[in-house]
Structure 1
Amino acid sequence: MSEQTAEAQPRSVLVTGGNRGIGRAIAEAFLAQGDKVAVTTRNGGAPEGALDVRCDVTDPEQVEAAFATVEEAHGPVEVLVANAGITHDTLLLRMSEDDWSSVIDTNLTGSYRLAKRAAKGMLRLRRGRIVFVSSVVGLLGSAGQVNYAASKAGLVGMARSIARELGSRSITANVVAPGFVETDMTGVLTDEQKALIKAQVPLQRYAQPAEVAQAVTWLASDGAAYVTGAVIPVDGGLGMGH
């Protein structure tokens, strides 16, 4: 009985970009476990049961304000899932300075800001889980996505450095690297493009957002207490060998 009670103890969970797609599925998975979930969005639309916090991760003051709001409502963040991300796809020779800097600032620098702020509370608690949502593109590369691939690859180095810095305080830092997932972002592709993508995936299908969420909730579970600095692919085998 005591083990069940410990397992059911709700934690303070923060998921960025949790209003749609993968982020929403992650937030819903933690809510289903009974955790206290806060979600950052730019324009609202958090899943039912989650605390909806408006935050642009490119603004350090908004990040600080978001954590203050979450801490007041749910206590110190015990699980951070840095998922917020954008794309500005174009070939290298056409890529503008803004195409580069906006993607890096949101996907990579934004994640740094979140992890740094979350780590303060986790160090005091002497426990914590940080999960960065990367992409198979960060490992494989993708034509037209130099900026996005660089930002997603950068999360791996960041997670592994944090894992080394904070491991002695029982804080883990890991990366989930999804492949192609059924979301609004992939919904705009033509049937021909989708068929070409599926042909490259050994499992011959896209992932469901919930399948990515399961990897994230596992990394935050007691069962993954000895896993840190890892990159967990959820890509149907697309990126294996990397």
Structure 2
Amino acid sequence: KVWTTGGHHCDMGLCLARTDPTVRKHAGLTMFLVNFHQPGMTINPIKLVMGGSEFCQEFLDDVVVPDADRLGEVNGGWKVAQTQLASERKGMARGWHVGMHRAETSPYIEPNARYGKIARELGTDKDPYTRALIGELIVYDAVSDLIGKRINTGLRSGKFHGEAGAISSLMSSVFDIDRTKLVSAMCGPEAIASVDEQSANGSGMSRVSTHRIGGGTLETQMNLVAERHLGLPRELGPAPDTPFNQLRSNKTAKIA
């Protein structure tokens, strides 16, 4: 298993395992808790190019998980996974992805004072182009905050269901990419010059591509919004009741 965030800080992990390949793909899954300290578990932090090691890869060699560590029913793991994913999307909807260290009562200009601080440090705070970029950044943060609050209100009132978080996650992915590009344009070479792994600018520039993946890929969020909120037809594919072991795969596909 690769790219587990903070895996080296964890005692337990979730494992969604296929326990019955003869039923449809979502029906033959079971969720387990896996003890990271048991024999056979190896956790290796992955050193990133910017110097950090927040991601890990795990190797499971003959690891045995007892039935006592099963979460939910046998072959009922997809329901558990959906609950976990819905919780993650609700977290996205509540705005933690755009509101870290931000008090709910703080006006938009206060948390965004950092943009002006960066410009002053670079000596570009009087430059019209830089000031226009800062204005765009403040608008991005304000819109992100308001959309997050609107979705959170809908979840609390019951107007929206758990998958509504996909809207916020989708918006966050697009906004974060654009926001990073704006900051990079404002900072110039300084955006990639830092060797400090904690630098917001350096790590932000190097992490921009991950914004399309975290919390579910951009394409996955688009599908959720299209199918579950807009009522658009699902993508074409095998019949829903097709057994997993009869699904086409790279191994079984015939090459002309």
| TM-score bucket (shorter structure) | under 0.3
Q: What TM-score does the superposition give when structure 2 sets the normalisation length? A: 0.21
The higher radius of gyration belongs to: 2
TM-score, length of structure 1 as denominator length? 0.21
